[in-house]
Structure 1
């Protein structure tokens, strides 16, 4: 009996440590985009950030009542434009240039801010773009930079980070050819982003953990993972083609609700409830919208493929990360589930912890 309790404690400890980390972050560090267009006689730049990334540097809650009204957001537009204009360095032919006018700021219904800046100059030899704002953000924040010509053709693309925040592009003229490495670089960037998203996306991982916690062997687990993959790939494609669009204000709370449901089902129905793969498929459709939202909300696209290449490579990254995590976690789950003295304790303790975490996220995403 003492042996069984020790292994049950090990399983509970693993879940507890995971939840302590998950309590802080339900999603990976931020993502933003920077789109630069070279036109005859001028350069246009559009920067898209989540409002939460900007609020610490351009406060919007002027009356300090913990709520930001539409009027307060409108009043904050000049300070947001000034902030991003100062943090975006545009160097044309070895000379830094300033915006020709105040930036234009707009907000969308996904809590993002978009700032459009215009520079009255055209590069003849070289263009350097540096996003200095990244130095103020967490290390994990990434910004996808695309430089286009006047026809919208991508000249080059790069994922910027805190420690690699600039791109230099040699230019003979504004009709410079697209870099042949750009599509391959974009594929690799978004593949890596997909891996990071699933590995640090603790709500998706807890959902998958709750689904797999009832399995004892390879085939049931494979069926669950396969149905989850098919489901979220479908909605990723639909979102990428703009066939279906769901607001994050619905998707994020619903994802939290799926975590609660699966955890409670584990507690009530116990070991491997029937139809778990169909439940996985249905809920996986919603999780797919959560994956797609990461790219859609930032207006991210790549070259002539638009959002399709980023979504494809991002999805492959998610699958790779998901398989890697499952390969590590599943042997531990099966080991605990196949021991009489630990199976019931592990399932109930883990499912209770997962349900509580889901409840926290649901409250956070609907009320806080």
Structure 2
């Protein structure tokens, strides 16, 4: 057999191998998405008052239901009356798992916590503690030890005038923080500053994009048609600009879209891009503008993380979380692209491989997007 024939067989073997591997990755991703959940998020807001300390905790209902059951009739549906009836048990649960130490003495809330629910399936619980701290305030969220590994809770402590005294991301392994006030003595401890808060939200942004399989699959589908550096950079840049705009608008409460619309729409964008790759093939015109338009919707999906943590324009510290979280997203996005793009370009620049690669991958992308769309509409 001549050299050309050997090379053809070898390339054909490589193409089949890569396609099998990509299909296996797709199946693993689908299974992982079906059984795994992104780490949970919650918030712990503390407002110092002249008369005491106001505490507001926000958790997703799914984080509470395992410890304060709401479905009393066991019909797999939680009615409004059942949720109302569960309020005292929710307040009692969180009060027992919250430690508030004022000037060296643990305090109990002056009354039962006030519980409310919102349309995002969150529970908000408010407590009031007395007296007002003068030297030291120690806070501990022991409930984190009961939740899944990876759950993070955003703690903010505000002075009576509104300025932020402390921002910190709590976790199971680090569920306590202290605030040293004017006139504190040697009991004081070093406090996390702006840099620590920046790094917390930066890390959260990286984790969100790396575990955000729908966003990554959308980006992969967009980049699957590229053959070189500049077209890929153009797509990534337009996606970055678009989702940064809507992330900022949502974080600042300028525009708000319900997750019941955003999440299915994100799945629909994945289906659309996969089908466009199948129909138009390589080098579809206007891909960067398509990226920009759909990137606006994905930005609202990114903003849902800050919304889950009750971070909004009402907080004086919105700019720091918004900036560092977005930078984390971009860093994670660039890191993933740096790993995937060389493989895409290598496959696309081999004529005997590129057509099959694009068709198979785009078909799998569309199927995965369709699965998520059904899951987020008919099955939600």
TM-score, normalised to structure 1, is 0.93
Deviations 1:86-112 (A, max 9, x none): 111111222211111111111111111
**Could you tell which deviates more after superposition, 267-276 or 112-121?**
267-276
Aligned alpha-carbon RMSD (Å):
2.1
**Could you tell which deviates more after superposition, 336-345 or 50-59?**
336-345
Match of 1:351 in 2: 362
Q: 1:275-354 to 2 correspondence within 5 Å?
A: 275-300=286-311, 305-354=316-365
**Could you tell which deviates more after superposition, 340-349 or 9-18?**
9-18
Q: CA deviation at 1:20?
A: 3.1
Q: CA deviation at 1:281?
A: 0.6
**Alpha carbons of 1:304 and 1:181: their partners in 2 closer, same or farther (altered >3 Å)?**
farther
Deviations 1:134-189 (A, max 9, x none): 11111111001011111221111111001000002222369xxxx99632222221
Provide the rounded CA distance (Å) in 2 between the counterparts of 1:12 and 1:334: 18
Deviations 1:181-222 (A, max 9, x none): 632222221111111110111111111111111111111111
Find out whether 1:86 has 2:80 as its counterpart.
Answer: no
Give the 3-state SS of the residue equivalent to 1:43 in structure 2.
Answer: strand
Match of 1:2 in 2: 13
Q: CA deviation at 1:274?
A: 1.6
Contact 2:55 2:126 in 1 (8 A): yes
Contact 2:243 2:297 in 1 (8 A): yes
Q: 1:112-131 to 2 correspondence within 5 Å?
A: 112-131=122-141
Partner of residue 39 from structure 2, selected from 11, 16, 29: 29
Q: 1:46-195 to 2 correspondence within 5 Å?
A: 46-172=56-182, 182-195=193-206
Give the 3-state SS of the residue equivalent to 1:23 in structure 2.
Answer: helix
Which structure 1 segments of 5+ residues have no match?
none
**Alpha carbons of 1:89 and 1:150: their partners in 2 closer, same or farther (altered >3 Å)?**
same
Give the 3-state SS of the residue equivalent to 2:35 in structure 1.
Answer: coil
Query: Of the two structures, which has the highest relative contact order with CA contacts closer than 8 Å and spacing of 6 or more?
Result: 1
Provide the rounded CA distance (Å) in 2 between the counterparts of 1:366 and 1:85: 36
**Alpha carbons of 1:77 and 1:131: their partners in 2 closer, same or farther (altered >3 Å)?**
same
Find out whether 1:268 has 2:279 as its counterpart.
Answer: yes
Contact 2:45 2:156 in 1 (8 A): yes
Provide the rounded CA distance (Å) in 2 between the counterparts of 1:336 and 1:62: 56
Contact 1:23 1:357 in 2 (8 A): no
Contact 1:183 1:302 in 2 (8 A): no
How many positions carry a matched residue from both structures?
Answer: 363
